[in-house]
Amino acid sequence: MKIGITCYPTYGGSGVVATELGVALSKKGHQIHFISYALPMRLTGGYDNNIFYHEVEMSTYPLFEFPLYTPALASKMVEVINFEKLDLLHVHYAIPHATSGYIAKKISDNKDFRLITTLHGTDITLVGLEPSFLPVMKFSIEKSDGVTAVSRYLKEKTLTNYHIEKDIRVIPNFVDTQEYARKNDPYLRGKLCRTEKKIVVHVSNFRTVKRVTDVIKIFDIINKKVPSILVLVGDGPERSNCELLVRELGLQDSVKFLGKQQELVDILSSADLFLIPSQSESFGLSALEAMACEVPVISTSVGGLPELVLHNQTGFIAEIGDVDRMGKYAIDLLTNDSKHRLFASAGRRRAEEMFNVNKIVDEYEQYYEHILNSPRVE
């Protein structure tokens, strides 16, 4: 198949999944055309005969106060659809990609191609509920030929919030379990901690919904009982508040802010525990990557996390804001080696059996075939 993929190219789960999906599909012989305003962050494997990148060109005019990305993206989509004769266009994160996709679909000379939209999270649970976006959001989803969601939670949220009767297929996020596998290299651990301390890790974009300050409060509880260090990976609007909290709690020597990092496998291979106490999480890709690297996960009971993390098997689940309970769970795991090994192995096994890239890419291929053989939505 000739498949167009549009995503946000920067840090974030939707862009990571879209890029990894395109790369995996290209390895199976499909021709992949990425359409975005910048080269996707994870598209770093060098030249590939089956992968192409089409940059959306943005112009600025004094008349326009804001950049007009939606029509510019739609125009580039039309160009690629017509010239490359795409079979389908798969857009990730509904706003504004699904809207641009619909415009392209109506304009394009290629009347056989299909539009598929994948819903990832805040496009549905936060941004799309803005009154200024909601009608367009609902329309764009309904006019897609196919719609997928990364968790059952997100599917139900979409149907409820937007009063949509359209069939939505749940296809979860995935991980390459060959790439994301624990490296037993003492040198890697020594780069983060030169003493015999436990290593606790959190990875996010430091937005408010990630509750990174809760991570620090949980770690403060852990560190009083179990000598540990906290490794924070990522950057974003809450980082300054987090740094302030670390200083207030006197944890400067025990907390490392690493900023944005590419080599997550090395970091996760050094970790003893992964914390993800989010307020909202449609799937929890970072938690899956941790599980694949044999790191037990402590999470909140929100969104799609309970579909991923099995309580008292691959980690522990607690209510939002219950830092005391999460701290207690963490200490339990970090002081019980046999339980920690069981949880680590169970997490790896679950990643391999349920969320391995080959299994999920097969599901996408089957869904593509289904949509291509179904009547086009006009």
SS (H, E, C) 109-143: CCCCCEEEEEECCHHHHCHHHCCCCHHHHHHHHHC
Q: What is the CA radius of gyration of the chain?
A: 21
Supply the pLDDT for residue 95.
85
Distance, CA of 367 to CA of 378 (rounded, Å): 19
For the whole prediction, is pTM greater than 0.85? yes
Cβ-proximal residues to 183 (8 Å cutoff; 6+ apart), any chain: 265, 266, 269
Of the options 3.40.50.2000, 3.40.50.150, 3.30.9.10, 3.20.20.70, the CATH number for the domain spanning 186-354 = 3.40.50.2000
Give the Cβ contact number of residue 1 at 10 Å: 15
DSSP class of residue 376 equals: P
- Position 126 scores a pLDDT of 62
For 211-230, letters b (16+ CB in 10 Å) and e give bbbbbbbbbbbbbeebebbb
Q: Please, what is the angle between helix 357-372 and helix 13-27, to 10°? A: 80
Residues of the chain with CATH 3.40.50.2000: 2-174+357-372, 186-354
Alpha carbons 213 and 202: distance in angstroms, whole number: 11
pLDDT for residue 48: 76
**Coil, helix or strand at residue 66:** coil
CB 15 within 8 A of CB 23: no
CA–CA separation, 268 and 201 (whole Å): 7
SS3 202: strand
Task: For residue 96, say if its preceding peptide bond is cis, omega within 30 degrees of 0.
Answer: yes
What does the pLDDT read at residue 336?
A: 97
Which CATH number, 3.30.70.260, 3.30.70.120, 3.40.50.2000, 3.40.50.800, labels domain 2-174+357-372? 3.40.50.2000
- Please give the chain's pLDDT, 378 residues, in tens: 999 999 988 756 788 899 999 999 999 999 999 999 988 877 766 667 899 999 998 887 788 877 889 999 999 999 999 999 999 999 998 889 999 999 999 999 998 999 999 998 776 766 545 667 788 888 999 999 999 999 999 999 888 888 888 899 999 999 999 999 999 887 888 888 877 899 999 999 999 999 999 999 999 999 999 999 999 999 999 999 999 999 999 999 999 999 988 889 999 999 999 999 999 898 999 999 999 999 999 999 999 999 999 999 999 999 999 999 999 999 999 999 999 999 999 999 999 999 999 999 999 999 999 999 999 998
